[in-house]
Amino acid sequence: MIHNISIDELLRQAPALPLVDVRTPAEFLHGHIPGASNVALFTNEERVQVGTTYKQVGRDEAILTGFDYVGPRWSGYIRQCLEIAPDKRIAVHCWRGGMRSGAMAWALNLYGFEVYLVQGGYKAYRRWCHRQFARNYDLHMLGGMTGSGKTRLLQLMQAHGQQVIDLEDLAQHQGSAYGTMNRMLQPTQEQFENDLAWQLQYLSETQPLWLEDECQMIGRRCIPLPLWQQMRIAPLIDLQVPLEQRVASLVQEYGSLDPGFLVESTERIRKRLGPEQTKHAIAAIRDGRMADFIRIVLVYYDKTYRKGLERREAARIQSLPASGLSTEADMQNLLRTAAAGIPATVAPDNVS
């Protein structure tokens, strides 16, 4: 049997209801619903040919061309779906709930699957994502200069039941010129948004949501504007960790990275760091003097952070001394400070 299902109904049943995306591998790679499996009806090239036939000849000929491609492959699609949903209960979608998902639903239904056909397809999920970004959240921002241990604090807070989203983890980038750590590959902008919206759906709007204070761009990925606008006016706790402790933490984090990667990344901020400081930083990297390298680049990053704070309303910023030595102790201090009261957020006219 084939049932029509809305995107909201689908998400309420996830992940208990396996989801199959029948778009091409290229479409799936560009952006997909988290947890979906790709059972592509057409290859990338076949989809182009079917589309060309549709435009140049007509709908009927395009359908026949499509069946010429997929005709010998139906048994393979069904076997793939049996692996994904052995109990024969499955949801299916394409770009906007058209012929591709309809054809797959027909074949699976014929085999005996209970099929849930997602109305509006992936396009409906994208609209749903934008609704998540526009919701009003009780945001609490955690700030602090580079090396203050913000990410470790947020991870520990999440383990203790606080609502936390790690934006840098979703973006696969730590936000600086060295942010890929020479190993991380950023998702597409669309997939970053898909994953972010997926996490937001599970959060309560009446409970604090902790985020790290970020630039709107995390590497090459952009925080969606409605959420970013809320982040900019949210109250912020600014961790004050001693410089030497920050240097020690960063040496531990970056010291084992490939020197060639560090040199190349330093070259990318030459204009902002200055030619003389860039030369000294690169020399320190090549000599293995990691603490000296960190101190040089921190001058630039600390200055950038202070400029960012100046663009916030001072009344919504609360400084919090932190040792940086014990994440547990710093977390308890942070939560006590937050419970005592951070200045309330007041939305500007352009934020709903």
Give mean pLDDT, residues 28-45.
Answer: 97
Give mean pLDDT, residues 202-216.
Answer: 94
Mean of the per-residue pLDDT values for the chain?
A: 93
- % of the chain exceeding 70 in pLDDT: 97
Q: Where in the chain is the domain with CATH 3.40.250.10?
A: 2-129
* pLDDT at residue 315, rounded to an integer: 93
* pLDDT at residue 210, rounded to an integer: 98
* pLDDT at residue 66, rounded to an integer: 84
Give mean pLDDT, residues 75-93.
Answer: 98
Q: Is the pLDDT of residue 272 over 50?
A: yes
Q: Is the pLDDT of residue 351 over 80?
A: no
Domain at 2-129, CATH class: alpha beta
Give mean pLDDT, residues 282-308.
Answer: 96
- Give the dihedral of Cα atoms 59, 65, 66, 72; nearest 10 deg: 150
Instruction: Tell me the sheet residues that pair with 210.
Output: 140, 164
Residue 85, SS3 per DSSP: coil
Q: Is the pLDDT of residue 349 over 60?
A: no
Q: Which residues are catalytic?
A: 94
DSSP code per residue over 185-202 = -PPPHHHHHHHHHHHHTT
Q: Is the pLDDT of residue 343 over 70?
A: no
pLDDT band for position 344 (50/70/90)?
very low
Calpha distance 300→316 (Å, rounded) = 25
Least confident of 53-62, 144-153, 324-333: 53-62
Contacts of 285 (CB under 8 A, 6+ apart): 259, 262, 263, 266, 293
Q: What H or E segment, with its residue span, contains residue 92? A: strand 89-93
- % of the chain exceeding 90 in pLDDT: 86
Beta-strand runs (E) in 231-301: 236-240
Count the residues in the chain.
Answer: 352
Give mean pLDDT, residues 205-210.
Answer: 94
Q: Is the pLDDT of residue 62 over 90?
A: no
Q: Which CATH superfamily is domain 135-340 in?
A: P-loop containing nucleotide triphosphate hydrolases (3.40.50.300)
Q: Where in the chain is the domain with CATH 3.40.50.300?
A: 135-340
Least confident of 9-13, 91-95, 285-289, 337-341: 337-341
Give mean pLDDT, residues 117-139.
Answer: 97
Determine the number of helices (DSSP H) and then strands (DSSP E) in the chain: 17, 12
* pLDDT at residue 170, rounded to an integer: 98
pLDDT band for position 68 (50/70/90)?
confident
Predicted TM-score (pTM) of the model is 0.92
* pLDDT at residue 194, rounded to an integer: 98
pLDDT band for position 342 (50/70/90)?
low
Q: Is the pLDDT of residue 347 over 50?
A: no
Give mean pLDDT, residues 67-85.
Answer: 94
Q: Is the pLDDT of residue 43 over 90?
A: yes
